[in-house]
Structure 1
Amino acid sequence: MEDIILLLTNIVSIIVLNIFITNIFQSISKNNELKNELQLYEQQAKIQYEYYTSLESKYENSRKIVHDVKNHLQTIENLYEINEHEKAEQYTEDIYKIFDKLGQKYYTTNKVLNIIINDKMQRAENFNISLDCKIGDVNIEFIKDIDVTTIFSNLLDNAIECAKDTFENKVIFLRIDKFNDFIVINITNALEKPPIKDNGNFKSTKKNHNGIGLQNIKRALEKYEGNMRIEYDEKAFKVNIVIPNN
């Protein structure tokens, strides 16, 4: 009888211990999810902050240009009066270029995505990378802003990281369009060397970076039953995403 009681006590203890350990693992898992989600919100907030800071800077610069516009017009007029037509045309072209830089480009009706593209466009230009972006008549309002940030920020950041190390074809192609009942996202960038894979996952080449960008994209896509396919060769890295347009 004592042995049976001891055995039952051990069994109950093991069950209680298993439940306790399971609860600990669930708590750790939930904590990691919350930590990851917090990082994503911080990423989104940082992008929006930098975007509006950039807007403020451009607004101040535009005020300076407008303040001097009378002088610029006078200079152009004087150049024409002395028959310096080429210099006048070049001066006019330079003014146009300044105004182009001050303006914010409009790519899509989705405010968050428009902010992200403008932000990444500026970052790409800093590395002499051309970001060729074409967006069709698509509605992605059903995707939460935090997931829009996760998907497109990571896609473009990864593409810029790859393209900046190339010596030729420093260009990134971003295409978003609708096909039947699906939204199709394609992004392609040039490669200087093949990506590194570890246990089937792509490994980041960035210092002090754990390469969780693509994993976060996959998690975000799962919420909308979307899927991602990656292809690459010696010259290009391509990501294709398909999301049902419910």
Structure 2
Amino acid sequence: MRDEAILNGALFAISIYEVWLYYQLLFEILIEKKYLKRSSMVILWMSIILVGVSLGINRKLILFSDSLFILTVALLIFFSYLIIKRRTFLIVSIVLVYHAFVSLLDFLFAFIGMHFLNDKFAEVIYYNGISVQKIVVYIFSRMITTVLVIIIIKSNLKKDIYDLRRILFSMGIIFVILVRGYQFYMASMVLGERTRNALGGVLSLVTVIVIIIFIGMLLSKNKMIKMEYDFLLLKEELERQKYEGLNSALEKNKELVHDIKNHYLVISEYESLGEYKKLHDYVEELKSDFIKVNPQIFTGNYVVDLILSQKKMLSEQKNINFILRAMPLPNLPFKEREICTIFGNLLDNAIEACEKVDSLRWISVEIEKQKNLFFIQIINTINEMPQKYEKGFLTSKINKELHGFGLKSVQRIMDEYEGDILYQIENDTFAVRLSFFDIE
């Protein structure tokens, strides 16, 4: 009686631990546990206990149940969404891969048990009751799962996992199909409908899992290589734009230096005549004509600072007052091309709008990062009311077929990171405000 109670306790502890381990993986990928609200923590532990106890009760009756498998997947998806409230597709992918992979490991060690127990396998492991051998099957599966979860956590996949979500989902679907297939395969052996071949089950299952993981790694590697290639192209384009901008500034400065003798004569004349007011105005005019060629540091983020420097210089060349309020930015979760898309398109639109203004021209840029909130605000003067469409504003350029994609690209990034974008027109100004939540 005492031994049975210990085994029952071990079975329930293993099942609860399995669900708890899933959430550790989920939090590492999507959100840190310390940022969860109290209500989310209540839902978390309620789901761990509910799903874990359900698994424990069912596993006393049978090694694996397809109906409970489906129910567990559905409950984990539901509770995970209640806790995190975003990135549902990625949550579904993680649940499918995790739970299906654990089930396949259970089948793997069950096949090993079948090899050693022969005819006693159905009684000791597969059907009713609890036994040390059944506990060992579950323990070995969770040990391997724990090691893999630790490897994933230490490999810092968080920044890349979202880009690999489709590959992850595909692997999850394949794992679920395999779970169903090997359930029938094992059940047919237990019922005597198929010749018992436990080692064949072990070898085929290991081979299939290894092949799927290998293919998944190849696809992931190919995806990462493509992303790195896109980054290199972006970097080359940014460097080219930076060179062209700096080269333009240097050429203008060379012109001013070339005319220094003439400037010196004018300055001397004003000084000798005592025309100090005119002298001061002339010097200030010369000073404003010189353009700084050294890159400025506004946020500490290289790509953001580079774009801000370029757009600030371009604005000053077009007699647009560029007002910037920014704070130091730690690592942002965006890719470099996404940063370029957001700031480049919005600032280009602001400069274009200001060029049409006959009176006061100005652009105000505000960038803030407070804990998990990232906020961008760009306000500029306007001369005409932009025409609104479903998710932004239509271009005012002549060739609308070739233009107007800028705000669509920004909106796509906002949708991907589940951010909010707000447009506002007031007192001859146009404002766009971008807010990102749960930004690490």
Instruction: Please give the TM-score of this superposition, normalised by the length of structure 1.
Output: 0.65
Q: Tell me, which stretches of 5 or more residues in structure 2 are unaligned?
A: 1-228
The partner residue of 1:232 within 425, 429, 438 is 425
More moved, 39-48 vs 188-197: 39-48
* Residue 436 (structure 2) pairs with residue 243 (structure 1): yes
Q: Which one has a larger percent helix, Structure 1 or Structure 2?
A: 2
More moved, 118-127 vs 40-49: 40-49
2:418 aligned counterpart, secondary structure = coil
The partner residue of 1:135 within 326, 333, 336 is 326
Answer whether contact 2:295 2:306 (CA < 8 A) is retained: no
Q: Which one has a larger percent strand, Structure 1 or Structure 2?
A: 1
CA RMSD of aligned residues (A): 3.8
State the 1:158 CA deviation.
1.1
2:335 corresponds in structure 1 to 144
2:351 corresponds in structure 1 to 160
Question: Quick one: distance in 1 between partners of 2:291 and 2:408?
Answer: 37
Question: Quick one: distance in 1 between partners of 2:359 and 2:285?
Answer: 27
1:101 aligned counterpart, secondary structure = coil
Q: Per chain length, whose mean CA-contact separation is higher, i.e. which structure has more relative contact order (CA < 8 Å, sep 6+)?
A: 1
Q: Tell me, which stretches of 5 or more residues in structure 1 are unaligned?
A: 1-37
* Residue 301 (structure 2) pairs with residue 119 (structure 1): no
Q: 1:189 to 1:95 in 2, by over 3 A?
A: closer
Identity rate, percent: 26
Q: May I ask how many residue pairs the two structures share in their alignment?
A: 208
State the 1:58 CA deviation.
4.4
Answer whether contact 1:41 1:146 (CA < 8 A) is retained: no
Q: Deviations for 1:136-195, whole angstroms, at most 9, x for unmatched residues?
A: 122253221100000001110111122211223311100001234201101111122221
1:33 corresponds in structure 2 to none
Q: Where does 1:1-246 land on structure 2 (aligned, <5 Å)?
A: 46-58=237-249, 86=276, 96-97=287-288, 101-199=292-390, 201-209=392-400, 210-233=403-426, 235-244=428-437, 245-246=439-440
1:34 corresponds in structure 2 to none
2:145 corresponds in structure 1 to none
Q: 1:61 to 1:205 in 2, by over 3 A?
A: closer
Q: 1:44 to 1:132 in 2, by over 3 A?
A: farther
Amino acid at match of 1:196: Q
Q: 1:94 to 1:101 in 2, by over 3 A?
A: farther
Higher-Rg structure is 2
Answer whether contact 1:191 1:234 (CA < 8 A) is retained: no
Answer whether contact 1:62 1:102 (CA < 8 A) is retained: no
Answer whether contact 2:311 2:347 (CA < 8 A) is retained: yes
Q: 1:43 to 1:171 in 2, by over 3 A?
A: farther
Answer whether contact 1:147 1:220 (CA < 8 A) is retained: yes
Question: Quick one: distance in 1 between partners of 2:429 and 2:289?
Answer: 33
State the 1:198 CA deviation.
3.7
State the 1:196 CA deviation.
0.8
Instruction: Please give the TM-score of this superposition, normalised by the length of structure 2.
Output: 0.39
